[in-house]
Structure 1
Amino acid sequence: MAGSPTVAVVLDGLSTAGLPTGCRHGVPWYVAQLGGHLLATLADPEVSLSDALAQAVAHVAALHPECDLRNPGTPSATVAILRQRWGALDHLVLADSPVVLDAKDGYTLITDQRVDEVLPDLRAAVERHETHTPGHREALQRLVLAQREVRNTTDGYWVAGADPESARHVLTGTAKLGDVRSAAIMSDGVSRLVTEYGMATWDEVFTTLRSGGPHELIETVRRVEATDPTGLRWPRYKSGDDATVAFCTW
């Protein structure tokens, strides 16, 4: 493209599980600010996706220095970016909001599941309880407290928070635009239809996106989750997680 690139961004704020964060603004404010600064920075096609993320994280941190940004629970978010420029598609993934490419040779899922590799015993303790029960809530808080201690550390997993260092731990890549028919970036509250519930294939997901758009895909996820409202079949943190999809075609 000769002018500004075309960009799609999906951010998924991390749950606080009702625990303090050290920030008076909250996760929704953080996500809105990070998204706005990301889009502004990514308008320059010369800026790499990882550099844009680092700049955006630093900008948002500078907006609320009065908050305790060293608190391990400081508002944070997963990040997924797709940018079209110069006949190519650049992608960036930080944590478990994936980018899925519908290419000529099949579907490619780009996601970072490091959060699922840490604290397996505490994760299993959460999954032993049905959602919306005191035992589930207490186990989830124990897990989130422990996750905070390894969040954005070399022994744990990385998300966008207050330290631009997280942008050095992203997954990035580039594909030729002519090799990709369409793409979707989404929160894990949508991708789990395939990756965790096993109730659809990526081919079925993209068929739904082409026929009914993101709204229909999210409705499909909600219908599936409604058959297991307390997490007996698919143990999870919430009955239904936040669900966002950006469907890109050209």
Structure 2
Amino acid sequence: MAGTPTLAVVLDGLSTAGLDTGCRHGVPWYVSHLGSQLVAALANTSVSLAAGLAEAIERVAALHPGCDLKNPGTPSATVSVLRQRGGYLDHLVLADSPVVFEEHHDFTVITDLRVDEVLPDLRAEVEQYETHTVEHEKALRRFVTAQRQSRNTSTGYWVAAADPEAASHAIVGSTAAEAVRAAAVLSDGASRLVTEYAMATWAEVFAMLRADGPRELLREVRKVEATDPTGRRWPRYKSGDDASVAFCQW
């Protein structure tokens, strides 16, 4: 996660499931460098969010040319961005980390769930096993191996990796700032309190963020997950996913 007074960026690195990536640096390195390059590219408000993301992806790829950037498992990440530009709020969402607007009478959730449409049978196989079991680990590796073949293709889903073309497939838009009370930019590990676990509404999440800040939301996510450590109630890839949230008010 990164930010400035007018910019919020949340990146969520994709799990490798222990598989080869063709890169000696790893996912945390990729996420860190993509975030810093993206903040730098978007400091110029005349640069669109998609153009800034494409530039950042290209710059990070240039930082490790010795790695196999054609490997389908090359380090990658979801990207969500919110930028204040004059009287507008520009957003970009690439994959399933949402941007949520608290409007005066409702909430608008912007997310990209194309990944959920890929390989439903293998996804179901993973979800039938409890986490922390050998069967779950093997099923997850099969799923991720197959999923990589659909990553950044016209018939699959898009994430930030080594090819700047991915930026052109992001969901982008602008909203009048006067129509928004507050906004949250979240990784799916944080948003699942509402979207997957259904243990809170967006109204409750924003009340929590306003009263106690992001740390309280993340504590609540972990508290809920602790009641189901092996994924029996809420089938998932791991007991607790990385969780980040940027809460923005004007």
CA distance in 2, matches of 1:96, 1:106: 21
Residue 87 of structure 2 is aligned to residue 90 of structure 1 = no
* Correspondence for 1:33: 33
Q: Which residue of 2 aligns with 1:235?
A: 235
Aligned to 1:47: 47
- What's the CA shift for 1:5? 7.3
- The aligned amino acid for 1:70 is K
Q: 8 Å contact 1:5–1:85 — kept in the other structure? A: no
Q: What is the distance in 2 between the residues matched to 1:222 and 1:76?
A: 25
Partner residue in 1 for 2:224: 224
Q: Residue 105 of structure 1: CA displacement?
A: 3.2
Q: Do structure 1's residue 81 and structure 2's residue 81 form an aligned pair?
A: yes
What are the Cα deviations for residues 3-42 of structure 1, in whole angstroms up to 9, with x where unaligned?
A: x971100000000000010000000000000000000010
Q: Does 1:112 align with 2:112?
A: yes
1:104 positional shift: 1.6
Partners of 1:27 and 1:119 in 2: how far apart? 23
Report the equivalent of 2:190. 190
Question: Which whole-Å deviations, capped at 9, do the CAs of 1:84-116 have from their partners, x for residues lacking one?
Answer: 011110000000000000012310000000001
Structure 2: any 5+ residue segments left out of the alignment? Answer: none
Structure 1 distance, partners of 2:218, 2:5, is 27
So what's the TM-score if we normalise by structure 2?
A: 0.98
**1: distance between equivalents of 2:98 and 2:193?**
13
Provide the secondary structure at the position in 2 that maps to 1:242: coil
TM-score, normalising length: structure 1: 0.98
SS in 2 for 1:80: strand
Alpha-carbon shift at residue 216 of structure 1 (Å): 0.2
Q: Which residue of 2 aligns with 1:144?
A: 144
Q: Distance in 1 between matches of 2:173 and 2:249?
A: 18
Report the RMSD for the aligned CA atoms in angstroms: 0.9
Aligned residues: 247
Deviant stretches of 4+, over 6 Å: none
Question: Which consecutive residues of structure 1, in runs of 5 or more, have no partner in the other structure?
Answer: none
Secondary structure at the aligned position of 1:199 is classed as: coil
Q: How much identity, in percent, do the aligned residues show?
A: 68
